[in-house]
A = this chain, B = another copy of it.
């Protein structure tokens, strides 16, 4: 499981006193970006050198509890399935509360599709798929950051 931290700033909150719901999608996209970067795939390079980009095709999101200003969150990425033109990921956002309790805030299932620069679905490059495949086989895999 890959995790990436996200701090809640004023920019992420709303007048309800908690994080605005669409901001969690930004946190999840940051984690997906860093997950790909950890494999050596920068989205900038994908776009510039290969005319490829990932776009979200489907999302199911359960908003379980609310984050607040100054909270430090953990955003996870787990690869569930690879297809020719898309990846399906499970993502969670949790908060470490005092007393060691981990509070789940978001549980999401995200399908991201590989697109050409003109937004047509295209095959995921073999070198990327080869790099991701071991994750599905349940092999231990840890990235330090």
Contact = CB atoms under 8 A, between A and B. Distances in A.
Interface of A: 7, 9-11, 13-18, 20-23, 25-26, 29-30, 33, 42-44, 47, 53, 55-63, 65-66, 68-70, 119
Contacts of A22: 11, 22-23, 25-26, 29
Given A14-B10, A15-B10, A62 B57 contact: yes
Given A14-B11, A20-B11, A69-B43, A59 B58 contact: no
A112 B47 CA distance: 29
A21 B60 contact: no
A29 B10 contact: yes
A9 B21 contact: no
Contacts of A21: 25, 29, 55-56
Contacts of A11: 14, 20, 22, 26, 29-30
